[in-house]
Amino acid sequence: MPAHPLLAMPHAAAAGPRLAAPLHTPATTVPCLVRGAMCPRGSFLNQQQRPRRLLPAAAAAKPGAIGSAAEAAAAPAEGLARSLQGVEVFDLSGKAVPVVDLWKDRKAVVAFARHFGCVLCRKRADLLAAKQDAMEAAGVSLVLIGPGTVEQAKAFSDQTKFKGEVYADPNYSSYHALEFANGLFSTFTPSAGLKIIQLYREGYRQDWELSFEKNTRTKGGWYQGGLVVAGPGINNISYIHKVTASYAESLRSKLRPDASILASLRALASASSKSKPAGTSSAAAKALTADDPTSANSSYIVVADQDITSVTSRINRLVLSVARSILEGRGFSFSVPSRTSTNQVYLPELDRIVLLRRESARPFASVGTARKATVTARVLSLVHAVLRRGIHVTKRDLFYTDVKLFGDQSQSDAVLDDVSCMLGCTRSSLHVVASEKGVVVGRLIFADDGDRIDCTRMGVGGKAIPPNIDRVSGIESDALFILLVEKDAAFMRLAEDRFYNRFPCIILTAKGQPDVATRLFLRRLKVELKLPVLALVDSDPYGLKILSVYMCGSKNMSYDSANLTTPDIKWLGVRPSDLDKYRVPEQCRLPMTDHDMKVGKEMLEEDFVKQNEGWVKELETMLRTKQKAEIQALSSFGFQYLTEVYLPLKLQQEDWI
């Protein structure tokens, strides 16, 4: 850590005679551990002592120049003085004194403490007291301002050797005006403990009561101190020393009041409720609402939800047609829609992936398809039995009914999708579901099989999204948007911070690759509540692939894309351009592997990506920089940075694609 310089008054006439002896001041951080509180970086509280002029001769001869080792950029003295206009502190008698009056008619060195009970503050006060005679001889007044009450200021004055002027700032008004750095992570450093131990060995003690009176804790928080050299004259500020807040923390100051952000979100929600759903052209609408989704008139397959009676009847007709084929001597064979990758295409007019209507024979008499035809017949039999009983089973249950025949669950799962295509119904209509995976939390109330669920009372873990979406009814919400999150870790942060109360929303995640139930649930929320959907995913090719599955479907489930996709999702973050925009540290970014690069380039060739210029630019940025980052990279600025700064600022700026 660099040593702190000593402050020497400038040679300029406006600054008065040069000090006979230098005053020790800091240029680095000194935390102060007091029940988790720390002494400020960049205040006068550091113990480092090393002679060095803070201002070059040219700057010293120019009244109004401002600079420090911690803040190199100069700031206009008049603007600084203007920001202090109207700010008052209180002397030991309780009299209010304008801050600028402290140097209006004299030269003064004004030091700002972290708090009055700080052990490091007391050490620094003694060091300053040792220089008081030299200061007075130079015609410079020594002033100390601290956050807290007048009583706290009196106690500090009585308990230390510091005999300069002491003022109280109970509301941190001067700290706010001077924009001193603040925040837990900007003050808490590992070196703090060692410094505290050193001072305790020297006999200094923390005044706990003085440190933790309510005014100190609730009205300031983790503000750091600083030092100002000024006067005579309100605008004659020749020097200010303060630690500049990190760029990440400085973004916090750009946030408008929540009411302003909420107004923008209400406008977004209103526009979403009036917009026409994607994929509702006349041709698409006709296909999506056809009485018979399996009609050969359609060039692609569109399955639909069917009740038990309808699905059972379709199975019966299918089995009868197979029996008739056998009796007529044509053999035992199924006509199955082809679900090969070449048959799964993206249709721009629908903005989703669909399965083209092409079929292939699956005869029992062929060596190549005999086993698969048998598995198909077995799955049809099992589904028929489940529907007759009116129950639901999982895909895992189905597999374990005949492990030797199926061999592997992927085999029974694939045939289950084939059966869904053959019958023209959704997979959920077969009453075979996947295990629970997705979770939801926030401003949402619904009934799950008759049980009323309030998602604001589900804790950090949220409510598991029911695998049987047909059980969900009575959906109610006062949310302004739906926040779709890729990962469970980000979901937990949002849930624990009750982000949905600050910005009314519904938060859901599938904990990675989206399952069918979560996709169905999201679409249903979108259709019934007519809310905008904003997505938060990792800044890597896989985050985008996950987002694309929600938006335009997966090839594996292309036959059911009409029910599973939510096309108009807005990509909120974390985007490749955000890594530089929010200055995510290099150590929190990851180099893209060769496979990452390959996946990214393949995505650029996808038709649904080419439709969106914003996506193309972000992918090109990712491939150019060869860097990726997870949502958790934002935690480098603080564990709650995601909910307190990043997302609010994104919503305020309407920064989405």
* Residues belonging to the active site: 400
List the beta bridge partners of residue 570: 534
User: Do residues 332 and 365 make contact, with C-beta atoms less than 8 angstroms apart?
Assistant: yes
- 121/4 Cα distance (integer angstroms): 16
Q: Which of 131, 197, 191, 195 is nearest to 164 (CA)?
A: 131
- 303/513 Cα distance (integer angstroms): 22
Residues, the chain, total?
657
Within 13 A of 248's CA, how many CA atoms are on the CB side?
Answer: 23
CA 192 to chain centre: 30
Structural tokens at position 366: 């062929």
Q: Which of 166, 50, 171, 52 is nearest to 112 (CA)?
A: 166
Q: Own/partner pairs for 468-473, CB < 8 Å, 24+ apart? A: 468/392, 468/428, 468/433, 469/428, 469/517, 469/520, 469/521, 469/524, 470/305, 470/428, 472/446, 472/447, 472/448, 472/521, 472/524, 473/446, 473/447
Structural tokens at position 163: 């005999």
For residue 440, how many other CB atoms are within 10 A of its CB?
A: 25
- 53/42 Cα distance (integer angstroms): 16
Q: Does a cis peptide bond (omega within 30 degrees of 0) precede residue 574?
A: yes
- Whole-angstrom CA distances from 460 to 451, 452, 507, 576 are 20, 19, 11, 28
User: Do residues 422 and 337 make contact, with C-beta atoms less than 8 angstroms apart?
Assistant: yes
Q: Determine whether 525 is exposed, middle or buried from the number of CB atoms within 10 Å of its CB (0-12, 13-18, 19+).
A: buried
- 17/13 Cα distance (integer angstroms): 7
- 213/115 Cα distance (integer angstroms): 10
- Whole-angstrom CA distances from 127 to 25, 48, 122, 130, 347 are 10, 11, 9, 5, 75
